[in-house]
Amino acid sequence: MAEVRGGGESGDARPQLDEDLSEVSDFLHAVGRQIKLLREQAGLTQKQFAKEVGYTESLIGAVEQGKRTPQRELLEASERVLDARGLLIATADDIEKAKAKARVRHPEWFRNYASLEAEAVELHDWSAYLAPGLLQTEDYARALFRMRQPVLAEETVEIRVAARMARQEILARWPRAVFSWVVDEGVLHRQLGGPEVHRGQLERFLEIGNTRGMTLQIMPMDRSENASVAGSFKLITPKGRPQTGYIEMQTSGRLITDGEEVRLLNTRYGTLRAQAHSPQDSLSLIEKMLGER
Residue 69's pLDDT is 78
Q: Is the pLDDT of residue 256 over 90?
A: yes
Task: Kindly report, residue by residue over 119-162, the tens digit of the pLDDT.
Answer: 999 999 999 999 999 999 999 999 999 999 899 888 778 878 88
Percentage with pLDDT > 90 across the chain = 57
Strands 214-219 and 233-238: unpaired
Residue 7's pLDDT is 54
Task: Kindly report, residue by residue over 88-115, the tens digit of the pLDDT.
Answer: 888 887 777 666 555 444 556 677 888 8
Task: Kindly report, residue by residue over 220-251, the tens digit of the pLDDT.
Answer: 999 999 999 889 999 999 999 999 999 987 76
Q: How far is CA 283 from CA 17, 71, 177, 293, in A?
A: 42, 27, 21, 16
- The dihedrals phi and psi of 151, each to the nearest 5 degrees, come to -65, 140
CA gap 52, 13 in Å, rounded: 39
The 3-state DSSP class for residue 255 equals strand
Is the pTM value of this prediction over 0.85?
Answer: no
Query: Which domains are seen in the chain, by residue range?
Result: 22-102 (1.10.260.40), 108-291 (3.30.870)
Task: Kindly report, residue by residue over 40-95, the tens digit of the pLDDT.
Answer: 999 999 999 999 998 888 889 888 988 777 888 899 999 999 998 888 888 887 77
